Amino acid sequence: MKPGNFLVFIMTLVISAAVMAQVAPVPEPLVFETQQQEERFNALTMELRCTVCQNQNLADSDATLAHDLRRKVYEMLMSGKTDDEIKQYMVERYGDFVLYRPPVQSNTYLLWLAPLMMLLAGALILRSSIKKRSALLDKKNLKIDR
C-alpha cells in the first residue's frame, strides 16, 4: 500500500466513523416496557419512510420530521395501538408514499405484477427462439440429441 493510499484509507475510516456516530438510530433514549414493544418499534420505523428524505426510513434518518414521527410511533405504540393502526395513521396523513412496502390495490397492480409479466414475456421469447433454432437445425438435416 502506497503512503497516499494509506492516508485515504485512514480518512475513510475516520469519516465513516463520524457518519455512523451521526446516524444513531434513536438519539432520544426510549424506554420500553417489554422487549416485544421494542422489536415492534424497530420494525415499524424500518418500514416507514422519512417522507422528506431521499429514500431513508424513520429509523435511519436524523431529520426533524423523522424525530417527530418516531416520537409519534413510540407514543402510539405505548398507548396500546396496533401496528396496523399506527401505519393507518401515517398513511392517512402522508399517503401510501410513507410505506416502504406499497399495499396491493388497484393503482399498484401494475407495480406488483410487472416482474411476473416480465418473467412470462422472457419465457415466451425464449421458447420462440428455441423453436426457431431447432427448426433451423432440422432444415440443415442435423441430428440433435433429444
Partner 1 sequence: MNSRTIPLIGFVLLVVLLIAGLKIADKKTELPSPLIGKPAPAFDLPVLASPDKTMSKESLLGKPYLVNFWGSWCVTCRAEHPVVKQLADLNAVYIIGMNFRDERDDAIAWLKRWGNPYDVSLIDADGRLSVDFGVYAAPETFLVDPSGTIVFKHLGQLTWDVVENEILPRVSEMETGS
Give least dist CB 40 to partner 1, A.
Answer: 19
Give least dist CB 34 to partner 1, A.
Answer: 25
DSSP one-letter code for 10 = H
Q: Which is nearer to partner 1, 123 or 125 (CB)?
A: 125
Q: Which is nearer to partner 1, 33 or 92 (CB)?
A: 92
Which spans of this chain sit near partner 1 (rule: CB under 8 A)? Answer: 51-52, 64-65, 68-69, 72, 91-97, 125
Give least dist CB 22 to partner 1, A.
Answer: 20
Q: Pseudo-torsion of CA 59, 69, 66, 48, nearest 10°?
A: 50
SS3 call for 2:
coil
Give least dist CB 90 to partner 1, A.
Answer: 9
Give least dist CB 78 to partner 1, A.
Answer: 15
Q: Is the dihedral of CA 97, 103, 106, 112 positive or negative?
A: positive
Q: Which is nearer to partner 1, 11 or 130 (CB)?
A: 130
Q: 12 is written with which cell numbers?
A: 475513510
DSSP one-letter code for 98 = G
Q: 78 is written with which cell numbers?
A: 405505548
Q: Which is nearer to partner 1, 104 or 121 (CB)?
A: 121
Q: Which is nearer to partner 1, 39 or 68 (CB)?
A: 68
Helix axes 35-47, 64-78, angle to 10 degrees: 140
Residue type present at position 66: A
- Residue where the block lists cell 433429444: 146
